[in-house]
């Protein structure tokens, strides 16, 4: 995900948080034209993945954008709870520059959701694998003390070539409400199904 797109996505998430967003009408299946016979989705001829199941919905970004993000609302939950939403996304350029996972997650959390006035707890780090290579999962909870809200953040830092890429998940809830960790299962399945269809622009540059 490009830096400008990441800012647009975060702005979109903050609009959902504020309750000011207006949902754009979407076709019954906005990914229909991108689906393969196997049920996967090919995105911009760059990635292939299994999208999360309904009611997860695609967040509309630029038509030529390589980034991809999904949104899950709890609008049908009774009694109504606010805020009550989750997002997941793939980022080609997560905040920061370091190629060392532990350093990159520190850079990431210094910038992530900065406009939401969130105070993050110390992340819990877990070494894992993705794409058959080493990866790092970082999970933390951020607290917004003015509005009495909290956000669960789960980020998987992985490698595409030598560069660090990331999958990230957020879930907002009132401070006194429990998180729905079942949504993280959907996030994990999305990340584990993700495949690159060829070398990235940066990989092609270094191979020339």
Token reading at 19? 């309750």
CB 167 within 8 A of CB 94: no
Give the pLDDT band of residue 42 (cuts 50, 70, 90): very high
Give the pLDDT band of residue 11 (cuts 50, 70, 90): very low
Q: Which CATH number fits the domain that encloses residue 119?
A: 2.60.120.1690
CB 149 within 8 A of CB 174: yes
Structurally, the chain folds into a number of domains equal to: 1
Instruction: Answer whether residue 85 is part of any domain.
Output: yes
Residue 36 has pLDDT above 50, yes or no: yes
Residue 66 has pLDDT above 70, yes or no: no
Residue 17 confidence (pLDDT): 37
The tens digit of pLDDT for each residue in 85-128 reads 999 999 998 999 999 999 999 999 999 988 788 999 999 999 99
Rounded to an integer, the average pLDDT of 120-139 is 97
- Report the sign of the C-alpha dihedral through residues 194, 168, 70, 185, in that order: positive
- Identify each DSSP E strand in the chain by its residue range: 41-43, 47-49, 57-58, 68-73, 85-91, 119-120, 124-130, 133-144, 149-160, 163-174, 195-196
In a 10 Å sphere around its CB, with 0-12 CB exposed, 13-18 middle and 19+ buried, how is residue 185 labelled?
exposed
Bigger pLDDT: 204 vs 194:
194
Instruction: Answer whether residue 134 is part of any domain.
Output: yes
Q: Give every CB contact of residue 187 below 8 A, 6+ residues apart in sequence.
A: 52, 88, 154, 167, 169
Residue 30 confidence (pLDDT): 83
3-state class of 71 per DSSP? strand
Rounded to an integer, the average pLDDT of 169-186 is 95
Q: Which domain holds residue 46?
A: 3-16+33-207
Bigger pLDDT: 60 vs 176:
176
Name the residue with tokens 């076709």: 27
Instruction: Answer whether residue 107 is part of any domain.
Output: yes
pTM of the model: 0.83
Give Cα separations from 110 to 1, 8, 106, 141 (angstroms): 18, 18, 6, 14
Instruction: Answer whether residue 165 is part of any domain.
Output: yes
Instruction: Answer whether residue 140 is part of any domain.
Output: yes
Residue 181 has pLDDT above 80, yes or no: yes
């Amino acid at each position: 995900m490009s830096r400008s797109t990441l800012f647009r996505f975060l702005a979109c998430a903050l609009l959902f948080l504020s309750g000011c967003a207006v949902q754009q009408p979407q076709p019954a299946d906005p990914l229909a034209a991108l689906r393969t016979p196997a049920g996967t989705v090919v995105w911009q001829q760059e990635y292939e993945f299994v999208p999360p199941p309904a009611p997860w919905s695609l967040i509309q970004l630029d038509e030529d954008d390589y980034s991809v993000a999904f949104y899950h609302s709890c609008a049908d939950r009774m009694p109504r709870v606010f805020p009550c939403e989750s997002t997941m996304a793939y980022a080609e350029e997560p905040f920061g520059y370091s190629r060392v996972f532990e350093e990159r997650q520190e850079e990431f959390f210094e910038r992530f959701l900065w406009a939401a006035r969130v105070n993050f707890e110390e992340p819990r780090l877990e070494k894992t694998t993705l794409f058959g290579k080493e990866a790092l999962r970082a999970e933390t909870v951020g607290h917004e003390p003015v509005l009495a809200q909290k956000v669960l953040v789960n980020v998987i830092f992985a490698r595409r070539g030598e560069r660090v890429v990331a999958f990230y998940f957020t879930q907002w809830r009132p401070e006194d409400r429990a998180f729905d960790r079942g949504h993280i299962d959907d996030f994990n399945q999305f990340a584990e199904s993700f495949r690159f269809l060829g070398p990235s622009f940066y990989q092609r540059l270094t191979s020339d």
